Amino acid sequence: MRANKAIEIRTARQSDLDGILELDHKVWVNFPASREMIAKRLAIFPEGNIIAIDKELGEIVGYLCLMFLEYEPIEFPNTWMDITGDGTTRTHNPEGKYMYGVALTVAKGYSVGMELQVHGWVIGIKYRRRGCYLGSPIPRFAEYLKKHSGTTVEDYVFRIKASNSTPYDPELAYYYKAGFKAVRILPNYEPDPKSLDHGVLVYCSNIFYHWPFRALVAWLVKKFGFRLLKALGV
């Protein structure tokens, strides 16, 4: 795994489109984004597209895409395509009170996911959004069912825990460590045999929502990163 000290994180530009697309196709082999999807995301809400660059190689090794929306949990469409406007973020609502994580893509061998999320929170603080939703796959679900037939997806997500009392599924556990909690199941979320096409809507509130001096708070979060968020209980 390459050291993250050689990583630059910044807002994406239109000139980064090819690099983002190449990364996406390497990571999401079964469900890659199209050129049109990435191009429209960059055009609709440029600030919501954040990339991590390996400065030594000059390659994009991480990508986060955010949008704003107004949905409450019960109002969310089930599928990623419906939520995100076919992956283009044309459903972005500039006045929406929540952020939604459209994509988090990290190249193999890199650990830039948390840093990208921190930069996402900077956007949420700046625009005073109440929190962030995203859809998580559950890639161990199909494997778990082979050994525990009859287990419902609700039991798997909400009641079955690992030995340390965190979610059993590693993807949900990853987001749990970042402060996200499961809210509801999203059937037919996206094509994924490992998850049996299920997704899980997860949510993390913005603890800085009522804080004054948002520009200063956003700067502090950007400077001190996930250490500050973790210390404050995000």
When pLDDT is averaged across residues 177-204 and rounded to a whole number, the result is: 94
* Phi, psi (rounded to 5 degrees) for 75: -90, -10
Q: How many helices (H) and strands (E) does the chain have?
A: 9, 7
pTM exceeds 0.85: yes
For 219-229, how does the pLDDT look when each residue is reduced to its tens digit (9 = 90+)? Answer: 677 766 656 65
How many Å apart are CA 69 and CA 98, to the nearest integer?
Answer: 5
Domains of the chain: 64-231 (3.40.630.30)
Residue 115 and residue 122 in contact, taking contact as beta carbons nearer than 8 Å: no
Count how many residues are written for the chain.
Answer: 234
Identity of the residue numbered 227:
R
Query: Strands 199-205 and 131-137: what pairing?
Result: antiparallel
Residue 5 and residue 12 in contact, taking contact as beta carbons nearer than 8 Å: no
pLDDT at 45: 97
Query: Strands 181-186 and 98-106: what pairing?
Result: unpaired
pLDDT at 208 over 90: no
For 120-175, how does the pLDDT look when each residue is reduced to its tens digit (9 = 90+)? Answer: 999 999 999 999 999 999 999 999 999 999 999 999 999 999 988 899 999 999 89
Alpha helices in 71-169 (DSSP H): 80-83, 113-126, 141-147, 153-158
pLDDT at 4 over 50: no
Residue 124 and residue 211 in contact, taking contact as beta carbons nearer than 8 Å: no
Three-state DSSP class for 30? coil
pLDDT at 24: 97
pLDDT band at 210 (very low <50, low <70, confident <90, very high): confident
53 membership: H or E segment, kind and range: strand 49-54
